[in-house]
Structure 1
Amino acid sequence: MRYKDYYQVLGVERGASVDEIKRAYRKLARKYHPDVSKESGAEERFKELGEAYEVLKDPEKRAAYDRLGSRYQAGQEFQPPPDWGSGFEFSGARPAGGRRMDAEEAAAFSDFFESLFGGAARGNGFEAGAGRQSRAAPAADHHARILIDIEDAYTGAERNITLQSPTQDASGRVVMRERSLRVQIPRGVREGQRLRLAGQGAPGADGRSGDLYLEIQFKPHAWYRMVDKDLYLTLPVAPWEAALGAQLTAPTPAGKVEVSIPAGSQTGRKLRLRGRGLPAAEPGDLYIELKVVLPPAEDPKAAELYRKMAAELRFNPRLHLGV
């Protein structure tokens, strides 16, 4: 997927005000409107202008887009990082107050737009077409996605988080406001679960404050990956441990455990530890996937051992292929 420079599309500077963006859009939209323009590719250009304006006219979408834009040039290969929307506070009620785009609406936007603000970016709060609360609403809720460690879900934790929210200054330019909160992470929290912080949203028309909803996402972990309530760990084993069987120690977020490796195990074999997954009324399981790791033959003694094995074992792992 190619990165789109929406500022370049509209021909404005990155620090342009909302009024400057609006004027640039109106001027170019008149020029490339399919009903009046005779230029080749006018319809596609008109759609591109509309997409750029859809993002840059909205303080929240623009601020989120700007967090990525400084690292890319137009036309570069691009893939949104999994944590790009974390710590970003936005208004509106999603999913209760939002909606999905229908096929006709989706056709007006590129894959790049969809990857950032559409269904492919669930959890960042910028689904296209998401509604805002009306001015008559009794309170204005806010939403944010936060990243936590997998270990926090096993034990529970209290964490300081920093949230950023966009607003417009007097000149119509987007500026970021920052605030810090102390948050209690409950034991057994799951990815996608939302934590409600009462009264931490924005003031509504009746003077009361709305709530802040924090959507949980786990940070990428060097050892573990979580699927729903289940945890997966790849455990390296030596060839003799896999061939002969062994009692090994394996790490888990809740502490070390002893694991029995059956004799004759191969790479890819999965061992299931019931109840060692995410804590819950019905806890998940921990799946240990074995990976046989060969010792390096970096010195003469190790190389000689491998030659001796080859001579004595006469093992052909390709025999089933007929070669």
Structure 2
Amino acid sequence: MADKRDYYEVLGVGKDASADDIKKSYRKLARQYHPDVNKEADAESKFKEVKEAYDVLSDDGKRSTYDRFGHVDPNQGMGGGGGADFGGGFGDIFDMFFGGGGGRRDPNAPQRGNDLQYTMTVEFKEAVFGKETEITIPRTETCDTCHGNGAKPGTKPEACSVCKGSGQQEVVQNTPFGRMVNRRACTNCSGTGRIIKDKCGTCHGAGKVKRQRKIKVRIPAGVDDGAQIRMSGEGEGGLRGGPAGDLYIVIRVKSHEFFEREGDDIYCEVPLNFVQAALGDEIEIPTLTEKVKLKIPSGTQTGTYFRLKGKGVPKLRGYGQGDQHVKVTIVTPTSLTDNQKELLRQFGGLSSDSSNGQDNEHHESIFERMKKAFRGD
């Protein structure tokens, strides 16, 4: 038994673990490695290993014996080859976790199709005002020729002669610990419970085909970056009459050169010259839909915010719109005549100072972005 891992290591718990800790770890690992959920090649063997470890450590008597002697030699009946399932099988565990109601899962029952996810990138204003568009997605759909049963038209699948349609095989062994049942997916029918002798020529027995499907999508006004749109029934097709899955569209919104968004509010930055800030003015501000007049009071300081009520983003759930917040930045003049310089010296009673080139570049960039906003870029 040198190749057998320690049961505590298998479940990822310490030797002083409580019964609740053991059960919690087992349920997590059994769900992770269950062959009906995990399609990796070694999932079945890992599931068996986890189940065997739990069956020993969850029983006080077996756990005590294991703590004293470790793994018992298989010739003396400790598990019949290391893969024994103590009193239950894959179907029983799957039903316990996924709502099977205590009975075995019918391998021929209708099966819901998989959900799909599609990432869509939209422009800033498209997210604000919404749009209708069309996308193309690859997805598997129910085969129109065989209607999903995988059989050639005029024929139908037959019950597997090995498992009698149950999709499972059982191996029973008597051991010193009691009667053990090893239940696994039927190797003859791969757990489907059916054998297709004459396969459909379109889907080759799969019951599904891969197609490129065009779907019309409506992006609601006010949608934000990271939002999801659920389209019921637009995922992959189901099997044996099962419903199709859903399509989830994840929205990614491009940034805007002039506007920034926070929730339903819009923010922008506009430049003012020294005279406008000192004496006051009325300036034109671009919004998402139009140009509006904004009154600047005399003595306005750089960094001051003004609010344009109702000029923000339409509320996605509810009525009305957010607001637009306008931040003003005072632009320092850099090209002055000698007369202008003298007047400023007289006004401020200060000596000449050189302007900050970096600030000037920042203000110039504000002008450029504002020009684009006026053009509707």
TM-score, normalization by structure 1: 0.45
Q: Which has the higher contact order (CA 8 A, sep 6+)?
A: 2
State the TM-score, normalized to the length of structure 2: 0.39
